[in-house]
Amino acid sequence: MEARAPRGTSDILPGEARLWQEIEATVRDVMRVYGYGEIRTPVFEYTELFARGVGETTDIVEKQMYTFEDRGGRSLTLRPEGTAPVVRAFVQHRLHGEGLPQKLWYCQPMFRYERPQAGRARQFHQFGAEAIGSLDPALDVEMIAIPIEVYKRLGIRGFEVLVNSIGCPVCRPAYRERLKAYLAQRIDRLCPTCRARFERNPLRVLDCKEEGCREATAGAPAAWDYLCDECGLHFESVQRVLAVLGIAYRLDGRLVRGLDYYTKTVFEIVTDGLGAQGTLAAGGRYDGLAAELGGGDYPAVGFAGGMERAVLALKAAGREEGKAQGRPDVFVVRLGERAWNEGIALAQRLREHGVAAQIEYAAELGKARSMKAQMKVAGRSGARLAVIAGDDELSRGTVALRRMDDGTQWEVPVERLVDAVKEQLGGGGRLA
RNA sequence: GUGGGUGUAGCUCAGUUGGUUAGAGCGCCAGGUUGUGGCCCUGGAGGCCGGGGGUUCAAGUCCCCUCACUCACCCCA
C-alpha cells in the first residue's frame, strides 16, 4: 500500500505544530478575557441536526457532508460546522438555566467533502464562539472584536471587516421579492449559475464574482433599505457599538452567508494574499436556530475562524515554522562503556530538575556514536550547554561542562552538576 | 462536479534535436590517527525518472490513459 493521508487531509508535523500551539494559546486567552467557557462537542452528530439547522438546500447539506450509518442503523454525520452542535448542546443540557447569555467557545476539527485548494481542506479546524440567549447588539460586535483581537495579538495585519444585515423572517421576504424584481429585468445579463440561483436563492446573486453579474447588480437594492423596524434598529445599534470600540468596518450590501440560519447581522473578516480563500473568520446572528432545534426562543450570535487560514496568515506575515524538536538546554555527550549508561542517569536527573536534556542514541545495538558525531548533533540541536561525561571524568567523580556558544569548558563534580547547569542557564532554566 | 499547472534522490531542481552505467546543490552517514560541534577537504549511502500502455533499433525525453499533488471555479472558515 502507499502511505498517504486521505485527500484533503494533512498531518501537522512538529515544526508547524508550534504555530498551531501559538494560535491556540492566543485563542484560549482571548476567550478567557472575554468571558467565554470552552465547549467540546462530538466529532459526529445525528445527520438531522445539520439538515435542520444548517438548511436542507445549502451546499453543505446537499453535497459536502460525510454521512454514514452506524451499526444500529442511525444516520450520523461528521461535523461540517460548529454552531449547530453548540446550540444542540445548549438545548440538550438546558444551559439557559445557568444564566443568559451563555457564552461558549470551541476549537475543533470540521469535515466537508470539497475539492481541496489553498486554504481549504476536507478536514479543517475552526475556532469560534457562540453567545446564546441575548439580542444585545454588543454581542454581535463582540463576535467581530474577538477574532480581531486574536489576529492582532498574533501580528496578523491587513484584514478588513465587512458587515451587512440580511434581516429576519419578517422583513427578508419583502426584500427578496424586491431583489427578484430587480434581477428579473436583467436576467439575460447574469451568468448561468446565477440564473439558477435566481429562483432558489436570489441573495446569492449579489455575491457572484462574475464581472457581468457584478455590473448587472451594481444598482441592486440593498438589504438594509428593507429591514423591518426591529432589524433596522438592531443594525444601527451594531454600527454604533462598532464606532464606540473604534473598529473599522465597511458596510457591504453584497455580503451574504451560505447557511440558512443567519438573521440580521452577518460579517466577514477578509484579507488578500492568501489566495482565493481570503476569509479569515465570519459569522452572524442566528435568532431562530435554538427554536428550530426545539429549544425555545433564544436569539444568538456567533463566529468561526479558520485555523489553517490563521496559520497561512501567520506565515504570510513572515513567521517561520519552528524546529522539529524543541531546543534542549543541555546535551549529554557520553564516552566510554561506563559513561554510556551513567550518562543516561545524568540526563534523567537534569530532567527531574526541569532542565531539558537530550542525549544521542546508538544507530546499532552496542555501537556508541563517536564523540565527534555526538558533538555535531549537540551543536545542531541548539543546546546551550554540553555535559561531557567520559569514563576519565567519571572516575574522578566529575563531568565536563562546555558552553556551546564560545567553547569554554571546565570540570564540575557530578553532585554539583544540576546547580552548575542552572547557574549557566539562569534562574528560569533558560540561558541568562 | 468543471477547468489549468506540475510529477526525476529526504529537500530544491538540472537533464541538450529521443542515444551508453540519470546529475548538481543542500541534507544525511563515515573519515581527515589519542576524547570535542560550527568552517574546510575526501569518501559513501540514497532514484519502479508517479503508474500503465503505445511509437521506436533505442523513451526521463514523443503519444494516449490513469493516479496524485496543486491552483482556480462552485462554495466556504
pLDDT one-digit tens code per residue, A340-365: 999 999 999 999 999 999 999 887 77
Nucleotide closest to A280 measured between CA and C1': B77
> Cell for A236?
444601527
Query: Would the Cβ of A12 be found within 7 angstroms of any atom in strand B?
Result: no
**pLDDT band with cut points at 50, 70 and 90 for residue A323:** low
The mean pLDDT value of chain A amounts to 91
Nucleotide closest to A309 measured between CA and C1': B77
CB A326 within 8 A of CB A381: no
CB A276 within 8 A of CB A264: no
Query: Would the Cβ of A78 be found within 7 angstroms of any atom in strand B?
Result: no
CB A393 within 8 A of CB A326: no
Q: Which of residues 150-179 of A touch strand B (CB under 7 A)?
A: none
Question: What is the rounded CA–CA span in Å between residue A227 and residue A171?
Answer: 6
Predicted pLDDT of residue A324: 63
Query: Would the Cβ of A254 be found within 7 angstroms of any atom in strand B?
Result: no
Question: What is the rounded CA–CA span in Å between residue A325 and residue A321?
Answer: 11
> Cell for A115?
475539492
CB A84 within 8 A of CB A55: no
Predicted pLDDT of residue A355: 96
Helix axes A137-154 and A14-34, enclosed angle (nearest 10): 140
Predicted pLDDT of residue A429: 44
Residue in A333, A326, A340 with CA at minimum distance from that of residue A374: A333
Average pLDDT over residues A374-393: 94
Residue in A282, A285, A300 with CA at minimum distance from that of residue A91: A300
Q: CA A330, C1' B25: Å apart?
A: 32
Rounded alpha-carbon distances, angstroms, from residue A92 to A4, A44, A79, A95, A333? 39, 16, 17, 8, 58
Does the structure show a pLDDT above 80 at A329? yes
> Cell for A146?
474577538
Nucleotide closest to A82 measured between CA and C1': B77
> Cell for A183?
434581477
Chain B positions within 7 A of any protein Cβ atom are: 1-3, 28-31, 35-38, 68-77
Q: CA A1, C1' B61: Å apart?
A: 29
Predicted pLDDT of residue A206: 81
Does the structure show a pLDDT above 90 at A275? no
pLDDT digits (tens, 9 = 90+) for A276-321: 888 999 999 999 999 999 999 999 999 999 999 999 999 888 887 7
Give me the amino acid identity at A299. P
Nucleotide closest to A118 measured between CA and C1': B71
Rounded alpha-carbon distances, angstroms, from residue A252 to A219, A222, A224, A260, A268? 13, 9, 10, 19, 10
> Cell for A301?
450570535
Average pLDDT over residues A252-279: 88
Nucleotide closest to A403 measured between CA and C1': B37
pLDDT digits (tens, 9 = 90+) for A228-238: 999 999 999 99
End-to-end CA distance of chain A: 51
Does the structure show a pLDDT above 90 at A39? yes
The residue ranking higher by pLDDT, A191 or A113, is: A113
Q: Residues of chain A with pLDDT > 90: what percent?
A: 68
Nucleotide closest to A277 measured between CA and C1': B76
Query: Would the Cβ of A327 be found within 7 angstroms of any atom in strand B?
Result: no
Give the angle subtended at the CA of A135 by the CAs of A134 and A136, to the nearest 5°: 95
Predicted pLDDT of residue A386: 96
Residue that is written with C-alpha cell 430587480 in the block: A182
The residue ranking higher by pLDDT, A141 or A273, is: A141
What number of other Cβ atoms are within 10 A of residue A315's Cβ?
14
Query: Would the Cβ of A130 be found within 7 angstroms of any atom in strand B?
Result: no
Predicted pLDDT of residue A201: 76
Question: What is the rounded CA–CA span in Å between residue A383 and residue A378?
Answer: 6
A249 φ, ψ to 5°?
-150, 165
